[in-house]
Structure 1
């Protein structure tokens, strides 16, 4: 009787196609616009950005306080939901998308 080896001990790896997440691209194809994202206490958490075409994302501030860690995951969920709802990248700087948990404020210049 020939025993079939456990696949985790194979000497080769079978490539697996992983479908891309339904989300905006992270590489801008042109100039970007951004807006500061603030928590309910008014602290800057980072910036939501978009190239107004197909790219968008969230960049956290450099030295976030320990209790600010939730913001990145929450904003990624907001962006994913917006993408699934068909909101174009150019519409992501709408403060209503982030309320009531966050306040999105236009960044000058």
Structure 2
């Protein structure tokens, strides 16, 4: 048996294809980001936006196995926000991620 971790846990960037149902994954300007924590206070990654049309979620570099669900859930949250017409400039609103996650926006 090998000591190497399962490579699926090292998928660090969730990309959202620039289709009609999601934000673009390529920023067209400077990005802002906010840290995402679980209910136990563990850092899971960062939500980012260019405040124009792009947004995404980047997981931490070395996630624990029980954090695997985060990527999919963040994709759902961002897709729901897009479909609801939330502009990319408002994606760092902690209310969008509650109660599942705590978003901490640096001041």
Q: Which runs of 4+ in 1 moved over 6 A?
A: none
For 1:50 and 1:107, locate their aligned partners in 2 and report how far apart those are by CA, in whole Å. 14
Shifted more, 20-29 versus 55-64: the winner is 20-29
How far apart are 1:97 and its partner, in Å? Answer: 0.3
Q: TM-score, normalised by structure 1?
A: 0.79
Shifted more, 61-70 versus 99-108: the winner is 99-108
Which 5+ residue runs of structure 1 have no aligned equivalent? 1-19
Deviation per CA, 1:4-52, whole angstroms, max 9, x where unpaired? xxxxxxxxxxxxxxxx351000000000000000000000000000000
Query: Are 2:68 and 1:69 equivalent residues in the alignment?
Result: yes
Partner of 2:47: 48
For 2:106 and 2:62, locate their aligned partners in 1 and report how far apart those are by CA, in whole Å. 19
Which 5+ residue runs of structure 2 have no aligned equivalent? 1-18
Partner of 1:80: 79
1:21–1:66 distance in 2 versus 1, CA, 3 Å: farther
For 1:91 and 1:49, locate their aligned partners in 2 and report how far apart those are by CA, in whole Å. 11
1:1-109 counterparts in 2 under 5 A? 20-107=19-106
Q: TM-score, normalised by structure 2?
A: 0.81
Partner of 1:4: none
Number of equivalences? 89
Max Rg structure: 1
